[in-house]
Amino acid sequence: MRRKNVGIADVAVHRVDGGTAWQETDRLAVEEPLEIRLEYVVAGTVTRTNIAVTMRTPGNDVALAVGFLFTENIVRQYAHVDTVRHTPAPNVLTVRLKPGVAVDTTRLERHFYTTSSCGVCGKTSLEALEVDGVAPLADGLAVDPTVVHQLPGALQQAQTVFAETGGLHAAALFSREGALLRVCEDVGRHNAVDKVIGACLLEGQMPLADCILFVSGRASFELTQKSLVAGIPVLAAVSAPSSLAVDLAQAFNLTLLGFVRNDRFNIYAAPNRIDRDALTTNPTLS
């Protein structure tokens, strides 16, 4: 196997088409573990804690780590971070907090283990999934339905690694007018979201109250929680949301859209942010 770049690997494969077989090179998305460690000072003593191991596509690791800590309410703002460094190996990232920054050690008692397919592994009860310190989102953002219809095409054009491998999820941040602000790819959709949010956090762009987050695949509880922590009022997904994601979105006034594709979408929560004046109601479908 040979790396083309940090996110793509060239692999020899045997292709079979009917009764014909041949060998050539295929390009795959890279998947490797990243261990996230946290260093903080307690009573003058430096404490080191292993926070998470996530299977991710290399690239944007700093944004991924910072975004993960932020959306899990372990780090409340980037100003609390002193340094972020790869040590002792490329797949180990240590986030050191500034002296005096308080850490909720009870949150660190929960062991994180996230994989590319499951972002909530290790959270053993519904109580452990509660969003704390997050208030219901304010009204105000109004999105034209035509903007929502444009999201899939804009995301597809921006997925450079997916175009070569066909094996990555993506998360993209759009303005209310539909302008693409940022896109990140990863084998895990939750990692892609953390990379987007972490990059915005690094650049001091929080909260993201005028933005739309669009994700490939489904909208899970965890992605809804991450959107809420970042103050994103609209979460849209190519596929379906989970029932728990809908419950959370409804409770916190987050507009949740599913099956956003082929000029269609479903509104599962907070329909007030979709400009209904731009829609024609079909009475036979009511």
pLDDT in tens, the chain (286 residues): 455 566 788 888 888 988 899 898 887 878 889 999 999 987 788 888 888 888 998 889 999 999 999 998 888 889 999 999 988 777 899 999 998 888 876 666 654 545 555 555 444 434 445 556 788 999 988 999 999 999 999 998 877 665 455 557 899 999 999 999 999 999 888 999 999 999 999 999 988 999 999 999 889 998 999 999 999 999 999 999 999 899 999 999 999 999 999 999 999 999 999 987 767 665 554 4
What are the residue ranges spanned by the domains of the chain?
32-129, 145-285
Catalytic residue IDs = 118
Q: How far apart are CA 36 and CA 58, in angstroms?
A: 13
- Do the Cβ atoms of 226 and 208 come closer than 8 Å? no
CATH superfamily of 145-285: Cytidine Deaminase, domain 2 (3.40.140.10)
Q: Going by DSSP bridges, is the β-strand pair 255-261/234-237 parallel, antiparallel, or unpaired? A: parallel
Sequence-distant (6+) residues with CB within 8 A of 171 are 183, 184, 189, 192, 193, 195, 196, 213, 214, 215, 216
In which residue are the tokens 């993506």 written?
170
> Domain 32-129 is of which CATH architecture?
Roll (3.10)
